[in-house]
Amino acid sequence: MGRVRVKSPLPLSEEGWLDEVARAYRDACETIPFGPGAGVEIRAKDLFHLGPVTCLKLRGIARTKRVLKRATDAALTSYVATESQGEATLRRPHLAFAFAYLASHFGLDLLEPEEVGTIMEYREEHEDRLLALIRG
């Protein structure tokens, strides 16, 4: 499928990814108050659905149907497969969002599976730090 044009570079370290995931999660949280105006209730547990679009936004990637579909398919397919295995971390909204956000990068050929795994492990090992970053 090929790489997409990225305006914002990827973080160079696991700590950089932790910072970015926290920033992305805060960005997604900003949608919660707008749910009622759109006739929906957006809860923290629903934010993982915004992982793909937040990926495009923070990377500065043009939001075309094709690109959004690639990111969304990767995020949701990975999420469903992992959830069906009983993955407990997906029950925590901030970790579920991080998973979908990173899987979106994989779907866009921006990260290799091993890189996603390393970042995910770091995120889980440093969950307290991630929560502190989210709170600001």
Average pLDDT for the chain = 90
Instruction: Enumerate residues 6+ apart whose C-beta is below 8 A from 11.
Output: 17, 19, 20
- pLDDT of 63 above 60: yes
1 vs 32 pLDDT, higher one: 32
- Domain residue limits at 47: 14-135
pLDDT digits (tens, 9 = 90+) for 68-93: 999 999 998 888 877 766 666 778 89
81 vs 30 pLDDT, higher one: 30
Q: Is residue 4 part of a domain?
A: no
Can you give the pLDDT at residue 134?
A: 94
Counting beta carbons within 10 angstroms of the beta carbon of residue 97, is it exposed (0 to 12), middle (13 to 18) or buried (19 or more)? Answer: buried
Q: Is residue 96 part of a domain?
A: yes
Q: Is residue 9 part of a domain?
A: no
Q: Is residue 8 part of a domain?
A: no
pLDDT digits (tens, 9 = 90+) for 90-130: 788 999 999 999 999 999 999 998 998 899 899 989 999 99
Tokens 């090929």 belong to 2
Q: Is residue 121 part of a domain?
A: yes
The encoded tokens of residue 52 equal 């793909």
Q: How would you write 5-66 as a 3-class SS string?
A: CCCCCCCCCHHHHHHHHHHHHHHHHCCHHHCHHHCCCCCHHHHHHHHHHHHHHHHCCCCCHH
Give me the number of domains the chain comprises.
Answer: 1
Give the phi and the psi of residue 40 in degrees, each rounded to 5.
-135, 155
Which pTM does this prediction carry? Answer: 0.91
Q: Is residue 115 part of a domain?
A: yes
Q: Is residue 97 part of a domain?
A: yes
Q: Is residue 2 part of a domain?
A: no
